């Protein structure tokens, strides 16, 4: 009887934690702070300097315990705990290092490309604004492996990195940065660069796992008692 009571209490704690329906994604600041990937043009060389830090890719249950996403949000089916329950992080942010870069040539743009990465690591361009967006990029879901940074005027942009539910361990993504003309053709005389981003991947919080296990234990005990 004591075991059943403990299981019920654990399940009740998990259930009661579901308090809010979120209409926006947790921001990079809410996830622990922005980590900039500073891009600059030094003469003929593009240079990429990621700030120190290893973001954690984890589920909503860790970012905002007990909460769920609004079913109308475009990321609902991928990230909501009741759906695919993907793990995510958007702390890394692309940023032109205005204090040290040479001016970009007139009419040029920077193309960001997917070089390599951990299997099942997906990337999305997202917006928390009134018109929300959750668009696959850098090869995710058949999208182009290159992304035109000039589409957001080379402003700060935080890709959302997503892993399947249950993933754990470490993940990496290597991105390239190429200076091109307006048509996306690399400019002669300029050298591209790349940066490797490192992540820690953490699955569902232990409390949630314990609650799920407790439900299974309770069901088995009920069958035994019956």
pLDDT band at 206, cuts 50/70/90?
low
pLDDT tens digits for range 9-49:
444 444 444 579 999 999 999 999 999 999 999 999 999 99
SS (H, E, C) 163-187: ECCCCCEEEEEEEEEEEECCCCCEC
Specify the pTM.
Answer: 0.84
pLDDT for 205 equals 73
Q: CB neighbours of 122 closer than 8 A, spacing ≥ 6?
A: 86, 136, 140, 141, 161, 162, 163
Question: What are the start-end ranges of the E strands in 70-152?
Answer: 87-89, 92-96, 109-117, 122-127, 133-136, 146-148
- How many C-beta atoms lie closer than 10 Å to residue 34's C-beta? 17
Arithmetic mean of pLDDT, 193-200:
98
- Each domain of the chain, given as residue ranges in start order, spans 21-203
Residue from 189, 146, 210 nearest 41 by CA:
189
User: Tokens 């200076």 map to which residue?
Assistant: 179
* Tens-place pLDDT, residues 147-168: 999 999 999 999 999 999 999 9
Residues 55-114: pLDDT tens digits? Answer: 999 999 999 999 999 999 999 999 999 999 999 999 999 999 999 999 999 999 999 999
Residues 6+ apart with CB under 8 A from 165: 59, 84, 85, 86, 87, 203, 204
Q: What is the pLDDT of residue 204?
A: 80
The CA-based dihedral angle spanning residues 175, 181, 186, 192, taken in that order and rounded to the nearest 10 degrees: -40
């Amino acid at each position: 009887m004591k075991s059943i009571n403990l299981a019920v209490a654990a399940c009740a704690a998990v259930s009661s934690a579901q308090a809010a329906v979120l209409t926006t994604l947790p921001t990079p600041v809410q996830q622990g702070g922005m980590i900039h990937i500073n891009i600059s043009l030094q003469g003929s060389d593009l240079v990429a300097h990621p700030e120190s830090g290893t973001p954690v890719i984890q589920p909503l249950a860790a970012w905002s315990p007990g909460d769920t996403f609004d079913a109308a949000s475009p990321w609902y089916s991928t990230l909501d705990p009741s759906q695919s329950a993907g793990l995510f992080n958007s702390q890394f942010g692309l940023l032109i290092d205005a204090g040290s870069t040479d001016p970009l040539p007139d009419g040029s743009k920077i193309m960001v490309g997917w070089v390599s990465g951990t299997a099942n690591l997906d990337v999305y361009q997202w917006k928390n604004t009134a018109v929300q967006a959750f668009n696959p990029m850098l090869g995710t879901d058949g999208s182009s492996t290159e992304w035109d940074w000039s589409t957001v005027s080379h402003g700060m942009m935080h890709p959302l990195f997503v892993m399947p539910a249950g993933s754990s361990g470490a993940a990496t993504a290597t991105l390239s940065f190429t200076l091109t003309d307006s048509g996306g053709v690399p400019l002669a005389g300029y050298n591209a660069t790349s940066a490797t981003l490192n992540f820690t991947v953490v699955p569902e919080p232990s409390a949630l796992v314990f609650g799920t296990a407790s439900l299974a234990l309770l069901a088995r005990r009920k069958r035994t008692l019956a």
